[in-house]
């Protein structure tokens, strides 16, 4: 018998309450606080986060004995930061506190390694502007590429991968802006200022892919090197094949170390990044303009979707003020530029 049938008053207050088994917001929060699963879930994600952090932090200790694995990882090392947002999203979907805490490690390591590159460090002024561009031996329109480079207005231009029958095209396209030039093998140097002593540099290849010249700039002489180190390949059966490049890098570094001029700039396609320990003979004695005065990573290859900065402008005895990439030409590389102060 109901309360109404017995003559009682209906209990409207009690009828408005949710059923006893319906949890309210407070109980949900309490259950979440005591949910031990947030610590048990996502252990694999946490392990992945720690592994990514270890690879980035200890990249120089990864051996090159097997397929030059260390150099391969160092070439694309900045991209390891992509794992951070990926793991973050997965950790949130899994509601894993363990993975979220572990994610702090790769985030901190990446910021320590590359955080400075994402800040604009450029400054005004300067005494000399330079460009380096691998024009691609199979460039379908070298004349247009030459016009684009001439239109940049820089003082000194270094070109790599010059095909013999295309050299006259570049000479014609750059002559009006750059009255001084020298081509040695497959590399060339064009300048608004006089050049002296242009000569090949032996980088142990058997043919010429590097040169050195003195540019008589208004603020003083500077030794300019142009180099195109051998290409590297990733092969399934051999890994990262870079032994020829590494030998050439050692020879180039030795030549630069003997240079008597206190001011040196190296322009070229080094087929390697500043993180690659195989280029230490060069990078240990020269400063990267992108790292010192760039805005972002300055990736230069491949031009359609740049993933690595293998085209470099490195200096000694001068101050980099700005570093940037120029718009895409008909090459598979982007031109890289820098402004220097003596």
Looking up residue 294, the CATH number of its domain turns out to be 3.60.10.10
Domain boundary residue, one of 96, 118, 140: 118
pLDDT band at 67 (very low <50, low <70, confident <90, very high): confident
Between 25 and 172, residue with greater pLDDT: 172
pTM: 0.86
- Residue 288 in any domain: the answer is yes
Give CA–CA dist 178/153, Å, rounded.
Answer: 10
Q: So what's the pLDDT on residue 119?
A: 92
Q: So what's the pLDDT on residue 3?
A: 46
* Segment 189-205 mean pLDDT: 98
Give CA–CA dist 37/96, Å, rounded.
Answer: 8
Q: Assign 3-state DSSP to the chain and report helix, strand, coil percentages, each to 5.
A: 40, 25, 40
- Both tokens of residue 156? 């000194």
Which of 32-36, 128-132, 183-187, 200-204 comes out lowest in average pLDDT?
32-36
Residues 148 and 96 reside in one and the same domain:
no
Domain boundary residue, one of 98, 118, 138: 118
Q: What is the pLDDT of residues 145-158, one digit of tens each?
A: 999 999 999 999 99
- Residue 79 in any domain: the answer is yes
Residues 92 and 170 reside in one and the same domain:
no
Residues 137 and 44 reside in one and the same domain:
no
pLDDT band at 243 (very low <50, low <70, confident <90, very high): confident
- Residue 308 in any domain: the answer is yes
Give CA–CA dist 308/269, Å, rounded.
Answer: 12
> How, if at all, do strands 156-160 and 128-134 pair?
parallel
- Residue 6 in any domain: the answer is no
Which of 12-16, 108-112, 318-322 comes out lowest in average pLDDT?
12-16
Residues 145 and 27 reside in one and the same domain:
no
Give CA–CA dist 112/187, Å, rounded.
Answer: 36
Distance from the Cα of residue 169 to its chain's centroid: 31
Location of structure tokens 């740049």 = 306
Length reported for the chain: 342
- Residue 238 in any domain: the answer is yes
* Segment 165-184 mean pLDDT: 98
Which domain, by its residues, includes 84? 13-118
178 close to 130: Cβ distance less than 8 angstroms: no
- Both tokens of residue 233? 């390949």
- Total domains, the chain: 2
* Segment 305-320 mean pLDDT: 98
Question: Mean pLDDT for the chain?
Answer: 91
Residues 6+ apart with CB under 8 A from 315: 264, 265, 266, 286, 287, 289, 338, 340
DSSP 260: -
- Both tokens of residue 1? 């018998």
Beta bridge partners of 191: 156, 180
Residues 145 and 175 reside in one and the same domain:
yes
């Amino acid at each position: 018998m109901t309360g109404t049938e017995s003559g009682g008053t209906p209990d409207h207050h009690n009828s408005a309450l949710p059923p006893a088994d319906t949890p309210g917001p407070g109980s949900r929060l309490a259950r979440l606080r005591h949910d031990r699963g947030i610590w048990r879930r996502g252990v694999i994600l946490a392990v992945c986060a720690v592994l990514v952090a270890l690879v980035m932090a200890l990249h120089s200790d990864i051996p090159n004995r097997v397929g030059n694995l260390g150099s391969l990882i160092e070439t694309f090392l900045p991209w390891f930061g992509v794992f951070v947002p990926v793991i973050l999203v997965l950790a949130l979907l899994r509601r894993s506190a363990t993975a979220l805490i572990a994610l702090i490690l790769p985030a901190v390591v990446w910021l320590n390694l590359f955080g400075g590159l994402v800040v604009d460090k450029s400054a005004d002024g300067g005494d000399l502007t330079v460009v380096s561009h691998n024009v691609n031996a199979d460039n379908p329109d070298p004349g247009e590429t030459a016009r684009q480079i001439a239109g940049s207005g820089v003082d000194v231009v270094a070109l790599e991968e010059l095909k013999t029958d295309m050299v006259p095209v570049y000479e014609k396209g750059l002559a009006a802006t750059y009255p001084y030039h020298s081509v040695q093998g497959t590399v060339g140097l064009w300048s608004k200022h006089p050049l002296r002593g242009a000569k090949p540099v032996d980088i142990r290849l058997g043919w010429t892919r590097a040169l050195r010249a003195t540019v008589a700039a208004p603020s003083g002489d500077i030794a300019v090197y142009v180099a195109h180190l051998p290409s590297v390949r990733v092969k399934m059966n051999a890994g990262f094949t870079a032994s020829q490049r590494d030998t050439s890098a050692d020879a180039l570094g030795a030549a630069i170390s003997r240079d008597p001029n206190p001011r040196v700039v190296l322009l070229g396609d080094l087929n390697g990044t500043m993180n690659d320990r195989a280029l230490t003979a060069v990078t240990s004695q020269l400063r990267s303009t992108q790292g010192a005065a760039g805005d972002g990573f300055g990736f230069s290859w491949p031009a359609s979707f740049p993933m690595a900065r293998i085209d470099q402008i490195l200096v000694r005895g001068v101050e980099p003020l700005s570093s940037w990439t120029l718009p895409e030409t008909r090459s598979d590389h982007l031109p890289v530029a820098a402004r220097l102060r003596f």
